[in-house]
Amino acid sequence: MLDIVKAGSAPLTIDNFVDGAWIGGETRFEVRDPGRTADVVARVAAADAELVDRAVAAAAGALKGWSRVPVAERAALVLQAADLIEAEAEKGLDGLAGVVVCETGMLPAEIVLELRGAAFASRDNVTAAQAALEPVVIEDATSIVRIERRPIGVVAAIVPWNAPIVLLIRKFAPALVAGDTLVIKTPPTAPAGIALLMAALAPLFPKGVINVVHGGAEVGAALAAHPKVRLISFTGGGVAARAIMRTAADTLKNVQFELGGNDAAIVLDDFDLDKGIPMLAAGAFHRSGQFCFAIKRLYVPEAIYDAFFERLAAHLDKVRIGHPLDPRTTFGPINNPGQLAFLNGLVAKTRAAGGDLVELGQPVDPATWAEGNYIRPTLVRRPGPDFEVVTCEQFGPVLPVIAYGSLDAVVALANGTEYGLGSSIWTTDFDRGLALARRLEAGMTFINKNAQSRLGRRHMPFGGIKQSGIGTENAEAGLAEFTEIHAINIHKA
C-alpha cells in the first residue's frame, strides 16, 4: 500500500495533501526521532492561511456529492479503508509502523496494535452507523414525525502526537460514514504517518473528501475561524481547546473535545497483588505514561500500602529504557523535548517540596542516554495532597502513590479535581467495584484493567466531563457528533 522509506534511512519529505494532490510550501519544519534527537525523520511542509483555505474549499466542494452517496456505499468504502490499515499493520516495521515508531518514540508492538485498533475503529463505526443513522419514525392517527440525521458538513480533525493513527481514525471513520468531508491537522511532532496513510486511503473516496495540512497553533486557529468548517473535533489539551472554542464561537461551530485528565485509580483492600500489579502498572506506564486516560493518581489502602508500593516498585525496576528500535527496550522515550522538560521540572519541584521519589528501571545503553528524550519511571511515595504531581496531568511516567483510610475519604480525593476523563477501581469483588464506580465523577470508569475491552471499544462512549471534554467519541453516541438532526412533521390531514 505504501512505499515508505525505512527507519534509519534519509529523512522523508512530507507535503500537505489537498484536493488529491501533494502541495509543498516555502517553509518546512523537521520532525526528529525522540530516541535519538540528532536524527531527522521527516522534513514537513508547513501550511499557511491560504493553503488552509484551499483545503477547506476542497472539502466543501466535495461535500455535496459525498453526502448524497448512500450510507451503505460510504460504509463499504470505510470498510475497504479498514482492510488496508490492517494490511499495513501486518507489515510491521517494514511499513507505516516503522515511520510512526520513529516519529512518536513508541515501541513497535504498540504501534502495530495501534494500527490494528484503527482498523477495528473503522469497522465499529460502520456497525454503529446502522443504528445511529437510521431515521426514527413516530406516528399517530393525525401525523408522522421523522427524526433524521444528516452530515454536519466540513469537519476539522485536530490530532495529537501520542497515538496519532488511532486517534485520527476515531474521527475519520465516523465523519466519512456519516457523509462529512475532512480537513486534518497533524501534530507537529508526529505528522508523517498520518499524511502517508491518508494519501494512501484517499483514492478510495472522491477527490477532496480527505485533506491534510501541517503546522502549529496558527493552522488550528485558521481552521477554527473558517466559516465553512462546521465541526472542530479536537483531541489535546485544555489551553488549546479554550482558544479553539473562543475562535469557533464567532461562527457558532460545533466542537467535540477529548481533553486531558488527572485520572484516579483506587485500589481496594482485597486487591490481588500477584495478578494485579502488572496490569495496574500498564495502566499508568503504557506508552511511557503518554496517553490521555493513563492513571495519574494512585490511591492505596493504608493497611496494604507498604507491601503494595514495594511490589509495584520491584515490577517497574525491571523495565529497560532505550530507543524503541532496540529489541532490548521495554520502555521508550518521551515524544518531545518540551514534554520532557515539563516532566523533569515536575520531578525537581516534587523533590524540592520534600517528596520521596523512587526512580526505577535501567537504561539499555547509558552511553546514549543524553541522545534522546529519556526519563526513568518514577514513583512518589506518600505525597501531600497539594503537591503539583498530584493535582496536574503529568502525561508521562511520574506517578504519585497516595495512602487512604476510608472509602468516603478516597472518593472525596478522587473527585476533588476539575478533570473528569477516566478512573479505575481494582478489586476482586465486582459488586463492590461497581458501587464505588457510581460514586466517581468521570466520563469513564474501568474495573480491574485501565483499558477498553474489545466489547468496550465497540460500545463504550469515550470522553470526559468537567474540564476533560465536551461531547464523546466512539459508539453510536460518538458517531452522532458528526451529524445534525433534521426533524420532519407530516400532517395527514
Name the one residue in this structure whose C-alpha cell is 468531508.
181
Active site residue 171: yes
Q: How far apart are CA 485 and CA 478, in angstroms?
A: 14
Residues in contact with 340: Cβ distance below 8 Å, sequence separation at least 6, in sequence order: 333, 334, 373, 374, 375, 396
* Residue 393 designated active-site: no
Look-up of cell digits 512518536? 104
Helices and strands: H and E segment counts in the chain? 16, 23
| Per annotation, catalytic residue among 171, 185, 253, 296 | 171
**Phi then psi for 232, rounded to 5 degrees?**
-105, 115
Active-site annotation holds for 90: no
Q: Which residue among 114, 393, 473, 481 is the active-site one? A: 473
For residue 400, the cross-strand partners are 380
For the residues of 353-367, what is the DSSP string, one character each? TT-EEEE--EES-GG
Catalytic residue among 258, 393, 441, 481: 258
Can you tell me the distance from the alpha carbon of 172 to that of 480, in angstroms, rounded to the nearest whole number?
Answer: 13
Alpha helical stretches, state H, 255-394? 273-285, 305-316, 337-352, 388-391
* Listed residue (169, 52, 77) closest to 116, CA to CA: 169
Query: Any residues with CB less than 8 A from the CB of 430 and at least 6 apart, and which?
Result: 447
Query: Count of CB atoms within 10 A of residue 458's CB?
Result: 17
The answer for residues whose C-beta is within 8 angstroms of residue 234's C-beta and 6 or more apart is 158, 220, 240, 241, 244, 255, 256, 257, 258
Q: Is 102 a catalytic residue?
A: no
Contact 319, 331 (CB under 8 A): yes
Q: Which helix (H) or strand (E) holds 226?
A: none
Q: What is residue 296's three-state secondary structure?
A: coil
The Cα 196–Cα 44 span in angstroms is 12
DSSP 422-489: -EEEE-S-HHHHHHHHTTS-SS--EESSSS--HHHHHH--B--SGGGEES-BSHHHHHHTTEEEEEEE
Contacts of 84 (CB under 8 A, 6+ apart): 1, 200, 201, 204
Contact 263, 415 (CB under 8 A): no
The one catalytic residue in 88, 114, 292, 296 is: 292
Residue 354 CA to residue 359 CA, distance in Å, equals 15
Active-site positions read 171, 258, 292, 473
